[in-house]
Amino acid sequence: MTRQTDIWVTCMIAVRDGRDEAAFARLFGHFAPRVKAFLMRSGADATLAEECAQETMVTLWHKAHLFDPARASVATWVFTIARNRRIDALRRQKRPEPEDLPWGPEPEPDQADALVLQQESEHLGEALAALPEKQRVLIEKAYFGELTHSEIAEETGLPLGTIKSRIRLALDRLRHAMK
């Protein structure tokens, strides 16, 4: 480890074990601007990048007990949190606000469209049921439970890479089954 890396690990451990505000301030001063720049380079506007950087640092403070220097460097841990916050922000942006939702009865769908949709839904249900249970459960958590991959990892105790691989394999199987 380099001397600088040692300093960040020492600061993280001080935050993790002693809720050391001075160590947190040092981490914040170093990582917050870098996280903001990273997010802006990845396409976020300045306001969103600032918001995500703030959320990242708040998460660092609240979840410091999860930091393990044997598993990841401080920088890797911080930038992983930042990436996840950006994904969460993008998901929130795609969801309509309640005032944007239409009120009143929806127009009746065309009968042919309704029949096709029903058949496709049944076909998808059969394809989901045919998936191996380990893949099906993760698909249900991700798409029906609307959990992020990280949230699924926390809930199941499975490594994040395993979750991503199983979901990718399951989606591939579903694509082939729906052709």
Q: Is the pLDDT of residue 1 over 60?
A: no
pLDDT digits (tens, 9 = 90+) for 60-74: 999 999 988 888 889
Q: Which two tokens stand for residue 138?
A: 């993760």
Alpha-carbon distance of 79 to 176, in angstroms, equals: 35
Report residue 32's pLDDT band, with 50, 70 and 90 as the boundaries: very high
Report residue 104's pLDDT band, with 50, 70 and 90 as the boundaries: low
Q: Is the pLDDT of residue 4 over 70?
A: no
Within 8 A by CB and 6+ apart from 150, the residues are: 84, 160
Looking at residue 146, what is its pLDDT? 79
Report residue 5's pLDDT band, with 50, 70 and 90 as the boundaries: low
* Domains in the chain: ranges and CATH: 3-94 (1.10.1740.10), 110-177 (1.10.10.10)
The 3-state secondary structure of the chain, one letter per residue = CCHHHHHHHHHHHHHHHHCCHHHHHHHHHHHHHHHHHHHHHCCCCHHHHHHHHHHHHHHHHHCHHHCCCCCCCHHHHHHHHHHHHHHHHHHHHHCCCHHHCCCCCCCCCCHHHHHHHHHHHHHHHHHHHHCCHHHHHHHHHHHHCCCCHHHHHHHHCCCHHHHHHHHHHHHHHHHHHCC
Closest CA to 160 of 63, 55, 71, 36: 71
Read off the pTM: 0.50
Alpha-carbon distance of 78 to 45, in angstroms, equals: 20
Looking at residue 109, what is its pLDDT? 62
Alpha-carbon distance of 29 to 149, in angstroms, equals: 29
Looking at residue 33, what is its pLDDT? 93
Is 54:32 a contact under the CB 8 Å cutoff? yes
